[in-house]
Structure 1
Amino acid sequence: MNSSLFRRVLLLCGLLLPLGLVAAQDKTDSLEAYLGYPLGSWHLRHDQINGYLKQLAANSDRVSLESTGFSHEHREQLTAVITSPTNQARLAQILANRSRVKQGTAEQDLLIIWLAYSIHGDEASGAHAALALAQQLAQSREQWVQELLTQAVVLITPTQNPDGFDRFSTWANGNAGLNPVSDEEHREHMQAWPGGRYNHFLADLNRDWLFLRQPETRGRIALFHKWQPHLVCDFHEMGHNQSYFFQPGVPERTHPLTSKRNQELTDKLANFHRRALDGRKQPYFSRQSFDDFFYGKGSTYPDINGAVGMLFEQASARGQIQDSNFGPVSLQQAIGNHLTTSVSSLQGALALKAELLDYQRAFYRGKRNLGRSGKLLSTRGDGAARDDLATLLRQHQVQYSYLRQDIREDKKVFRAMDSLFVPDEQPQSALLAALFDQRTEFADATFYDVSAWDLASAYNLAVENDFRPEWEQLSELPLLPPRFEPSDAAVALLLDWRQGNAAAALAKLQARGVRVRVASKPFTQRQSGRNREYGPGTLLILLQQPGFEAGEIQALTQQLAHQFGLPLEQSLSAQAMVGADLGSDDFYPLTPIKPLLVSGRGSEPTEVGELWQYLDTRIGIPTPLVDSDRLEKVSLENYSHLLLADGDYMHLDEDVGRKLANFVNAGGVIIAQKGALIWLKKRNLLRTDVREDRFFLQQFSTAELSWEDRESFKARQAIGGAILEWQLDPLHPLSWGLGSASLPVMKNQVLGLADSSDPFVEAAHYRDPPLRNGFLAPEYGRAFGGTTTMVAEPRGKGAVVALADNLMFRNVWLGAERVYANALFFLPVALGN
């Protein structure tokens, strides 16, 4: 079909974007000419987006490009910087001025507007609208555009998730015909697992703005703080049976740290969208859905950083066209709506320029200097976690200091190797308060995402608030591990398992054939003239092993300790002052592992991705992903561990259950969490009873409730994300190296475990009451309090590990992720099977 006939088909189907929306007086660099077809005829690929941006930048003196790095699959993320030629010529000066915003000394003259699109890869209309807008701003001679570019710098990021975007475009284009199919059941609208929403490691990038676990996010955060925008617009898609949404959201669901002035400006900007969409006769809604609560999203992170963030949601065609309750919704219609509100955002910001500039100026006023008091934070012996936390704070431009020496405070010791000091008074004090926010009471119990996220829980920090250090106790540079001086008299090396990178070092040692043992009990050795206590989980590397030359193991271990920043100690004798000697049976021999991670049908993509990213990037173990439908055909004898993320696995039949039972009986270990436990119990792979939502919902009474109470009642019954506290059995193998007897976890599913009849399988239970931070209905608090959360059931030569919660939450829960390393490296041998 030739292009003109294709255009006629699209027009007849109502799919072609009205030309008036993208009209530009200069026809050079036409987007349609570049693509070879009208915008929206096919779903764009990321390389096409970057190619067109580069062409615009090469041919227009209004456009330059900024790279924010590469995705996991090495796709470059480009942002178009569009402003007048005069402003383009002085960008270095403009950026130098923007760098002083947080100090309160910047000249607030230019308006900085950032329009960001398609952070979810299958919400594709935003990226298409972004290219149409970039063309218009680069070429239009309309007076409002000229005025805008004189007074503002516009940043346009068409796609914030290149890998997911291309995964979706390949699916949508591969299942689209020349005659568009609007049937909701059409394959084009039903993506295969995992879908295009997520990035390479299946992370939801719009939940990562605070945690910075993904390279795409780290690039965006760097761009944000480099330009310090006044307005950030975040363009999404929602269910196809909805219309169009823009903020403000539900007023009662705005985070208390967000100012009323911020919400007033949001509503003033919304008036421009209302008029623009009314002009298109496009239905919309506002205030009745979504929220401004969790600061880890693209529309809320700006609100705690001196800007105004706005969320836009367009009904999605998930292809070319799809039937909906409002009639057919098309990609072209979605592009047109997002382009309309992109323009209204620019025009509204220009009209409200003085107010936006004043808002940011007031936000940072008086925050230039650092205070003398603040938070003293310890990662409980984990130097790698301290460095991870320091990197996260630095990327958010939160100021902190290392300790020059150990500090003793209120009978607690904060060691220089694992602690930071963060002053409460500083330019980023508002964001700092959000990062460590703790609250359990809320005006509205409805949450679009989690109700709590504080870093003290994520890293399981020991915290001393309102601490006033002496300046000589602080340092700008971290204290490095003591220099390791190898001794010819050494008989063994010792690695502290509390170190987050110890698992990666262990995996490397085993890959090189080095035999490693693990301490099952505490012991004390004489080190450098003093007694040194070691906890269970300490790794023992004997220096004389078959197949290695003298000094070879020592050199290799020393190299790995340097690579992973691990303090390495040597023992000059196998004798222990207290506890087990190094040659005793209390040091278990470890064997190399080869895990299998179940993916595909039934499994929850984000939790599969969290486990995958942990195994691949944190530990460095090649991990096969095997779709659940193929488990019956896979030879499990080749694997040591099988991991089941949350999900619904009821499609797996008895044959698969018997196969997994044989795997465990032969010495394999199953590590499963949340919904996967229901299937394990059904197939008699788990002896401990699993309590599903119907058990807990019985705790709620509907007495004296009316129809008006139904929404708030449903909200109370949901657990969108609250931080609960586990009490650990500190000597259980699954608790080794965790550094404390309690463990904060994120709970976001109504599911629990009953107490086991075997007292030796329980490794942890909920504190009573369990709530640490966030919203949890009192009915759940009573039902969960004191109940089992983690078991390790021996079975034959192997074991089944059951976790009531996801301890890997968004790959930022570093305080708890070591449980997985313990289950991988120490089981089943540490259970005595």
Structure 2
Amino acid sequence: MKKLLLFSFLFCTILSAQNKVDLSYYLPQDVTYNNNIPTPESVIGHQVGHWHVTHDKLVQYMYALAESSDRVTIENRGKTFEDRPILLLTITSPTNHQNIDAIREAHIAATNTKTTNNSNRPIVVYQGFSIHGNEPSGANAGLLAAYHLAAAESNDVKELLDNTVILFDPSFNPDGLQRFAYWANTNKSINLSSDPSDREYSEVWPGGRTNHYWFDMNRDWLPVQLPESRARITSFHKWLPNILTDHHEMGSNATFFFQPGIPSRTHPLTPKLNQEITRAIGDYHAKALNKIGSLYYTEESYDDFYYGKGSTFPDINGSIGILFEQASSRGHVQETENGLLTFPFTIRNQFTAALSTLEAAKNMREEILNYQQNFYENARNEGAKEKGKAIVFGDSKDAARTYHLAEILNRHKIKFHEIKQDFTANGKRFKKGYSYIVPKNQKNTRLINAMFEKRTTFQDSLFYDISAWTFPLAFNLDYAEGVSINNLGNEVTNLQQKEGKVTAMSSYAYLMEWHEYYSPKVLNKLLNKDIRAKVALKRFGMNGKDYDYGTILIPVQNQKLKDKDLHAFLTKLAKESHVQIDAVNTGLTSGIDLGSRNFKTVYKPKIALLVGDGISSYDAGEMWHLFDTRYNITITKLDTKSINYAGLSRYNTIIVANTSSLSKNNSEKLKTWTRNGGTIIAYRNAVRWLNSNEFAKLDFKKMKRTAKDISFEQRGDYNGAQVIGGAIFEAKIDRSHPINFGYKNDKIALFRNTTIFMNPSKDSYNNPIQYTKDPILSGYISKPNLDSISNTVPLQIKKLGRGKVVAFTDNTNFRAFWYGTNKLLMNAIFFREEL
């Protein structure tokens, strides 16, 4: 009993002590600080670690530092979706600040030409914190790091600032950080509970990890689809930092990780010297963490393969990317396998690693500057070997998808040109105005290779993230490599979208082809305006033009708008959405006439997207973002808690993004709604839910795997190798089926990261999309899985009463940059009556 009382006393003492840490707990003991520089506590109102800093207070402190220190300048690079500022501090010596433009120009110049003397140039370090909002120790450590760099008066810090330009990003993810800080702070007790079951350590859906639209911000460095990413990528290419650090958190029972990761899982395009330098920098982290007694590990768990992550993207751009992972307290203090884990402790480790990075940068400055210079010299030599070659990409029917891929290249400072004239390559026709050509002989040729390569052989069969991201396949564009630069037209220096137009005014009808990416946006606005529209189920021709499946017909007669007003409205929509709408003056065609029954009325979609407990926030967020930012389609985010009492009759389409199960009551209500005429669209694991709840009878291929000659130690790797973490596969499509309207080719590239394999229907016309016999285009898949996926189908459409069930095995809207399959969802929504 006495021992129990003693433990309770010590336990309470530890919890009380957590609230009483001061700056001396964090900061180096042998450094004095300038009293004229405000401490974090003096501005934000509490000691670092006592509360989770909210983003508004973080911003307040960073501006206070910039106002008080001649070592710090600050810029606002834009806004998040929730209108929070995206800040960047530049921290260096006052002398360097006076010459900052010249320093940057010299730094960039060294990557463009070979020079021999790097002894006098500062090294550039980009330090970024908490790209996942509920991994807050990084951003909170940023308060301390910024204060230390602005106020420390030691000779070591002054020497560091003389020789280093620090690009300091205090919060990679402002919206997520704010969301999580609110959660942790509002659930904090005066008497802290360390029980992992306490509400403080279990966020409500969707959690604070993601940004406003529930995206994992650490997967967008290469696609650059989100405002926070675009700001930091602009800064990255403006400076080309030598080192970039990315401060994260992991499970509470872990310790502290720093890179390099697992050696066999480094992307082959990353130079070996990159990992050697990363390992040498790691020695500085080890020494610093040894000093404060913190446990750590390296070369395990994490990898450097997918270039869309913050710690890997720098590696293909001549920089050294470094990931830090700190065991997370997920609140203020939590019981773990390693004892009580306090929030201040997690902050101190991150702060320590931030300083050890700078120590390594200072001491390894010339070596790392030389590495970057040689990286680009070698890249130029590689490019010179292909100076007569280029990559061409485009879609002769869709300028918008072509534009959006070019937009990514533009953000990454990759040069590209118009094509001089129409030409054919790799059996594809490339049309001027709808295609761009990328010469290989340029500075960022290695980045070009990383974005366009198709890779199907790998050193390792395990991946921390996706194994393929081939951009022209993601955009479903025609492309060809190794084409002659004789096809180069003018370099594109002012990228613009195709100008939309209505060809003339008509008193009869207008036609809009469905190929263009933004055609669903136009159709939705027409239907919202109560303008009648029909869709062509067959092809036809008129006025010397062939119109494909899915062409939209807008009759002029019996509309709510008069002729002139309708023309004006269509003109506005065409310009806004970059599409062409053709005026026609007759109903006679070479094919189905415009009054044919093969033109079917399109009805206004009324969409609910299931969100909340049981639904993947990533998948749901990607769809929300698609509807909201690309197509301007209003949807209802229907929480799973509300299904049972919601009036579902107001919707004609309900989307279940990805779920393993819903309650029996919810499932029955959704099934009744579908049977009464609704269209339910389900993705990924939700297709199994459809099957088990008898929405549709789906025939899944059963997998047979036997681990032979596998030791107990190897079991994890064996099972991991059977995962499809993210690869790209080829499927053949029936273009006459409404689900495929708008696609001009009979093959499509599909992203897949599940092992859900559906057998095809016995009726061939019920298999509008089917994987080919040997479908792998890019990425890793095990031999058993490759055998299993052959000739299966990623889509099944079934009837249930008067309703429709649309089942996709995989996400067609992956991470906002899989433009090539977005239209499959739009077709399921707008043409649901015809499926």
Counterpart check, 1:800 vs 2:805: yes
C-alpha distance in 1 between matches for 2:453 and 2:675: 46
Question: For each residue in 1:649-692, what CA deviation from the matched residue of structure 2 results, as whole angstroms up to 9, or x when unmatched?
Answer: 24x21x3333223322332111111111122112211122345x
Task: Tell me the equivalent position of 2:9.
Answer: none
Task: Tell me the equivalent position of 1:515.
Answer: 532
- The offset of 1:263, in angstroms, is 0.6
Question: For each residue in 1:335-356, what CA deviation from the matched residue of structure 2 results, as whole angstroms up to 9, or x when unmatched?
Answer: 0001111111000110000111
Counterpart check, 1:25 vs 2:33: yes
Q: The residue matched to 2:820 in structure 1 has which SS? A: coil
- The offset of 1:253, in angstroms, is 0.6
Amino acid at match of 2:546: E
Question: Which residue of the other structure, out of 386, 392, 399, is the alignment partner of 1:383?
Answer: 399
- The offset of 1:798, in angstroms, is 2.4
Question: For each residue in 1:565-599, what CA deviation from the matched residue of structure 2 results, as whole angstroms up to 9, or x when unmatched?
Answer: 1122222321112x201111111111111100000
CA contact (8 A) 1:253 1:443 kept: yes
Counterpart check, 1:463 vs 2:479: yes
CA contact (8 A) 2:758 2:792 kept: yes
C-alpha distance in 1 between matches for 2:72 and 2:496: 45
Question: Which residue of the other structure, out of 628, 637, 640, is the alignment partner of 1:628?
Answer: 640
Question: For each residue in 1:368-393, what CA deviation from the matched residue of structure 2 results, as whole angstroms up to 9, or x when unmatched?
Answer: 68833210112352111111111111
C-alpha distance in 2 between matches for 1:222 and 1:47: 23
Counterpart check, 1:550 vs 2:558: no
Task: Tell me the equivalent position of 1:663.
Answer: 673
Task: Tell me the equivalent position of 1:703.
Answer: 708
- Change in CA separation of 1:489 and 1:43 when aligned onto 2, cut-off 3 Å: closer
Task: Tell me the equivalent position of 1:532.
Answer: 545
- The offset of 1:86, in angstroms, is 0.8
- Change in CA separation of 1:601 and 1:611 when aligned onto 2, cut-off 3 Å: same
C-alpha distance in 1 between matches for 2:426 and 2:287: 60
Counterpart check, 1:298 vs 2:310: yes
C-alpha distance in 2 between matches for 1:516 and 1:389: 30
Counterparts of 1:307-706 in structure 2, within 5 Å, are 307-365=319-377, 371-409=387-425, 411-470=427-486, 473-474=489-490, 476=492, 484=501, 486-487=503-504, 491-526=508-543, 531-577=544-590, 579-650=591-662, 652-653=663-664, 655-690=665-700, 695-696=702-703, 698=704, 700-706=705-711
- Change in CA separation of 1:792 and 1:244 when aligned onto 2, cut-off 3 Å: same
Counterparts of 1:742-757 in structure 2, within 5 Å, are 742-757=747-762
C-alpha distance in 2 between matches for 1:417 and 1:275: 57
Gaps of 5+ in 2: 1-11
Q: The residue matched to 1:704 in structure 2 has which SS? A: coil
Identity %: 33
Task: Tell me the equivalent position of 1:775.
Answer: 780
- The offset of 1:30, in angstroms, is 1.4
Counterpart check, 1:56 vs 2:65: yes
C-alpha distance in 1 between matches for 2:570 and 2:511: 10
Task: Tell me the equivalent position of 2:109.
Answer: 100
- Change in CA separation of 1:396 and 1:475 when aligned onto 2, cut-off 3 Å: closer
Question: Which residue of the other structure, out of 65, 69, 72, is the alignment partner of 2:74?
Answer: 65
CA contact (8 A) 2:684 2:811 kept: yes
- The offset of 1:95, in angstroms, is 3.0
CA contact (8 A) 1:761 1:793 kept: no
- The offset of 1:625, in angstroms, is 0.7
C-alpha distance in 2 between matches for 1:300 and 1:51: 31
- Change in CA separation of 1:479 and 1:404 when aligned onto 2, cut-off 3 Å: farther
Task: Tell me the equivalent position of 2:8.
Answer: none
- Change in CA separation of 1:469 and 1:534 when aligned onto 2, cut-off 3 Å: farther
Q: The residue matched to 1:788 in structure 2 has which SS? A: coil
C-alpha distance in 1 between matches for 2:264 and 2:485: 39
CA contact (8 A) 1:719 1:748 kept: yes
Task: Tell me the equivalent position of 1:119.
Answer: 131
C-alpha distance in 1 between matches for 2:138 and 2:237: 23
Question: For each residue in 1:296-355, what CA deviation from the matched residue of structure 2 results, as whole angstroms up to 9, or x when unmatched?
Answer: 000000000010011100000000011111111111000000111111100011000011
- The offset of 1:760, in angstroms, is 4.1
C-alpha distance in 1 between matches for 2:134 and 2:234: 24
CA contact (8 A) 1:381 1:417 kept: no
C-alpha distance in 1 between matches for 2:407 and 2:65: 35
Counterpart check, 1:262 vs 2:271: no
- Change in CA separation of 1:441 and 1:17 when aligned onto 2, cut-off 3 Å: farther
Q: The residue matched to 2:126 in structure 1 has which SS? A: strand
CA contact (8 A) 2:502 2:574 kept: no
Q: The residue matched to 1:815 in structure 2 has which SS? A: helix
C-alpha distance in 1 between matches for 2:426 and 2:693: 51
Amino acid at match of 2:204: A
C-alpha distance in 2 between matches for 1:462 and 1:76: 38
- The offset of 1:41, in angstroms, is 0.3
C-alpha distance in 1 between matches for 2:362 and 2:504: 70
Amino acid at match of 1:612: W
- The offset of 1:88, in angstroms, is 1.1
CA contact (8 A) 1:168 1:196 kept: yes
C-alpha distance in 1 between matches for 2:296 and 2:667: 49
Give the TM-score taking structure 2 as reference length. 0.94
CA contact (8 A) 2:244 2:314 kept: yes
Question: For each residue in 1:84-132, what CA deviation from the matched residue of structure 2 results, as whole angstroms up to 9, or x when unmatched?
Answer: 1111112222233344354237885111011101000000000011110
Counterpart check, 1:787 vs 2:781: no
- The offset of 1:141, in angstroms, is 0.8
C-alpha distance in 1 between matches for 2:349 and 2:508: 71
CA contact (8 A) 1:400 1:420 kept: yes
Q: The residue matched to 2:339 in structure 1 has which SS? A: coil
Q: Give the paired residue count.
A: 812
C-alpha distance in 1 between matches for 2:767 and 2:598: 21
Task: Tell me the equivalent position of 1:75.
Answer: 84
Question: Which residue of the other structure, out of 811, 818, 834, is the alignment partner of 1:813?
Answer: 818
Q: Mean alpha-carbon deviation: is it higher for 656-665 or for 445-454?
A: 656-665
Amino acid at match of 2:33: Q
CA contact (8 A) 2:499 2:578 kept: no
C-alpha distance in 2 between matches for 1:36 and 1:487: 64
- The offset of 1:438, in angstroms, is 1.6
C-alpha distance in 2 between matches for 1:15 and 1:322: 17
C-alpha distance in 2 between matches for 1:671 and 1:803: 8
- The offset of 1:492, in angstroms, is 1.7
Amino acid at match of 2:439: P
C-alpha distance in 2 between matches for 1:416 and 1:826: 31
CA contact (8 A) 1:125 1:338 kept: yes
Amino acid at match of 1:459: F
C-alpha distance in 1 between matches for 2:606 and 2:743: 23
- Change in CA separation of 1:491 and 1:469 when aligned onto 2, cut-off 3 Å: farther
C-alpha distance in 2 between matches for 1:758 and 1:169: 54
Question: For each residue in 1:413-462, what CA deviation from the matched residue of structure 2 results, as whole angstroms up to 9, or x when unmatched?
Answer: 10123211011121111111111122111111110001111102201121
- Change in CA separation of 1:488 and 1:73 when aligned onto 2, cut-off 3 Å: closer
CA contact (8 A) 2:511 2:552 kept: yes
